[in-house]
Chains A and B, each alone.
Chain A
Amino acid sequence: MTDAISSLGAVGRPVSIHTDDAAKARLKGRYRTETWFKWLGAAAVALAGLFLVLLLSTIVTQAIPALRQNYVTLPIDLSAAKVDPAKLDEVNYDAIAQEALTAKFPDVTSRQDKRLLRGLISTGTGVFLRKDIAADPGMLGGTVDYAVPLDDFADLYLKGLLADVGSDEAISTSVTPSQTSGDIDLTFGDDAMQALARGHGATEGENGMLTLTSGASSLLVAFNGGTVKLTALSPAANGTVIAKGTVIEALDSTAPAASGQAFLRVIETPEASRKISDKMIVWLDTLNSAGLIESRFNSIFFFTGASREPELAGVWGAVVGSFLTMIVTLAIAFPIGVSAAIYLEEFAPRNRLTTMIEVNINNLAAVPSIVFGLLGLAVFLNFFGMPRSAPVVGGMVLALMTLPIIIIASRASLRAVPPSIREAALGIGASKVQTVFHHVLPLAMPGIMTGTILGMAHALGETAPLLMIGMVAFIVDIPGGFTDPATILPVQIFMWADFPEAGFQQKTSAAILILLVFLVIMNAIAVILRRRFERRW
């Protein structure tokens, strides 16, 4: 910088103002900020993605068991002696199915055990059997192998959701039973069993006595074609152990089982803290190992209505209810919303009144949905006396809720149509209405449709307002029309989440999954519409 004049800029600053060290530091600082911002943004997106994956994976893993249902195949006696073909409606089909099951377990004699055994199959068995016989009378007249849905507890156990069951392990010593049934003594060749019992929560008593209460894991010994549940163990002479046990399945003989011939099965979850007893587990395992139990696609869940029995509960009623409600919502909200948007955007004068209407529409979009429910209750049900729990009322309430969303979206997309299109039409003498309906509306339609679909998706997931108008009722029948009592998917989910039965947990997740699938489909349609009809001008 020898020449003072040439090294100075126009306003007297040195020309190196953009190249000196201070400038480089400033530039570096700018890039640093940019990098920071980029990383922060990426981290935020990653976090959101992580939560989404977590949510979805939780729901999906919970829902998957509900997609299948276990059936047991039983030889059902439908001979004329049991079922009178002339009086099909008077037959107790449940009893016939239960007989077929108890016939599989001749050892079970006590009334209490028989009741337990009968509880393995669903209480809806008779209904299914009656329906299938009505559809195919050829089943009558003999014994048919018929797949009966299992009760929810049995089903959950087989899916591994009720109890923690270890695998069968061979016992490396001899086992000698005192009798073949009832409460018996078992003599084990060594004391390994004692250590095992201690490890599984047995209570120490006097003289080295170990008691396996219902608070400890269940130890089941299977040998000689039967199963014995151990209740207590005490040391005996020569290092042997004498155990007290209850026979769950009768043994063939009192012959001692050699080392490796008896098997120990540990059910880690104590009997007191699970919903299924040792006996039921043993019966189910027997049926399972006989190859009689089969896991099938859960058509009951997808194609039936609600039920208090988890294994009989389905979403179809709620899906139909949701569908009917959405039709009403769409039929009301779309035409009114689009008309209102067109009027406000294209025709209404800009004055205080329309400004107020605008502000209020925007505010309505932010009103809590339950308020719309209260309004529906007060106006539609109490004042107009419309039917309770009906899709028509639900649809009207949701339409009120969706209206502002549709109006706002429609106005935005009408505003996005370039004014040059309006001018072009007006310039060749099109009237206002012709301009709007021939040119502006077709161009705005993709945006309007997108907004409508998103509004509908919003309405589909809405629960609170429908609780207020009685759509939370327990409805078994699948609604056949707009005025039939019905419930909708989110409310069904809400109700199932509330039920105490363990079987409803999976149903809840599966129903959420179905709702999500519908929402994803609707959003995908919105995206496709936007892509497909997006115009450039």
Chain B
Amino acid sequence: MNIMTEAGVEQKLSSATNAPLIKMKGEKVSVHYGEKRALFDVDLDVREHQVTALIGPSGCGKSTFLRCLNRMNDTIDIARVSGKITLDGEDVYDPKIDVVELRARVGMVFQKPNPFPKSIYENVAYGPRIHGLARSKAELDGIVESSLKKAGLFNEVKDRLLESGTGLSGGQQQRLCIARAIAVSPEVILMDEPCSALDPIATARVEELIDELRQNYTIVIVTHSMQQAARVSQRTAMFHLGYLVEEGATDKMFTNPDDKRTQDYITGRFG
């Protein structure tokens, strides 16, 4: 397994040892799209200040699970979620939970960069503005600047904050979307294949960024790239045909998986 020889992974192992708190917890999560069942009784924990990678072949339910965590599945009419998902012990599907508040706490970055067709500034400022996080223009400016800095984009765009966000390159757009997500100070950031539309250089930058963001946020990332999962995550969950096959520390998953399917998948024998 040549993946394990990479220095980055070794380094991360140490930080994963002192068992962190569980930030989000999924218990017997099942999802139906109409008649079709997409997810079967998934139990999965997301630990605080760690990157949890969800891997598995296409159509295995990893994105579906991710979208349950901030209730983005609510936007699909035919989707039905059962089981229990908690954020800091609170059931996110509890009718008392405000979905708007939940999504402010659990932000999301999508597969395809989707900046608003507005200025770079407006893209980042929109979230804080609707949530009333800034009391003055100066404060808002500060949030925008720090978010862009955290996303590693500020130096590239500081002179053209009022230009359209859609005019940036793909990698910059994705980092803008990350900046937009962190501008509302979420606790958890969900990333649905954030690098699949990016070239290797842009991917490397986003991966670096994810590693930095881990200090302040809890991250769940869906990825198709084994290497990416190995590089950025501390824990990995393997999905197959709607079932959670196996979940554990990334180093163990990639060196000594319990399940043969995991072994086959990460070595490229199916998927």
Chain A contact residues, CB within 8 Å of chain B: 349-350, 418, 420-431, 434, 438-439, 443, 535-537
Contact = CB atoms under 8 A, between A and B. Distances in A.
Contacts of A427: 70, 72, 103, 107-110, 181
Q: Which of the listed residues A350, A425, A427, A431 has the most CB atoms from chain B within 10 Å of its own CB?
A: A427
A428 B126 contact: yes
Interface string B98-131: 0011111001111010111100000000110011
Interface residues of B, number: 28
Interface of B: 70, 72, 75, 77, 100-104, 107-110, 112, 114-117, 126-127, 130-131, 166, 177, 180-181, 183-184
B77 A350 contact: yes
17 contacts: A420-B112, A421-B114, A421-B117, A423-B114, A424-B116, A425-B126, A426-B75, A427-B70, A427-B107, A427-B109, A427-B110, A428-B126, A428-B181, A430-B100, A430-B127, A431-B130, A536-B166
B75 A429 contact: no
Closest A-B pairs by Cβ, 9 of them: A429-B104, A427-B108, A420-B114, A429-B103, A428-B127, A424-B114, A431-B100, A429-B100, A535-B117
A424 B110 contact: yes
A431 B108 CA distance: 15
A536 B103 CA distance: 27
A426 B117 contact: no
A146 B117 CA distance: 65
B77 A424 contact: no
A91 B92 CA distance: 90
A431 B181 CA distance: 15
B108 to A, nearest CB: 4
A537 B117 contact: yes
Given A418-B114, A428-B127, 20 more contacts: A420-B110, A420-B112, A421-B114, A423-B108, A425-B126, A426-B72, A426-B75, A427-B72, A427-B103, A428-B104, A428-B107, A428-B126, A428-B183, A429-B100, A429-B127, A429-B131, A430-B127, A431-B130, A535-B117, A537-B114
Contacts of B108: 423, 427-428
Interface of A is mostly: helix
A426 B109 CA distance: 11
Given A429-B100, A434-B130, A349 B114 contact: no
Contact of A423 (B110, B115, B131, B183): B110
Contact of B72 (A349, A350, A423, A438): A423
Contacts of B131: 429
B64 to A, nearest CB: 14
A306 B108 CA distance: 66
Contact of B184 (A422, A423, A429, A537): A429
B104 A421 contact: no
Contacts of A443: 117
A127 B195 CA distance: 81
B194 to A, nearest CB: 12
A537 B166 contact: yes
A90 B100 CA distance: 79
Contacts of A438: 126, 130
A443 B116 CA distance: 10
B268 to A, nearest CB: 27
Nearest to A419: B75
Nearest to B166: A537
Nearest to A439: B116
Nearest to B123: A424
A426 B131 CA distance: 12
Contacts of A350: 77
Contacts of B75: 422-423, 426
Contact of A426 (B77, B103, B112, B183): B103
Nearest to A350: B77
A63 to B, nearest CB: 45
A421 B126 contact: no
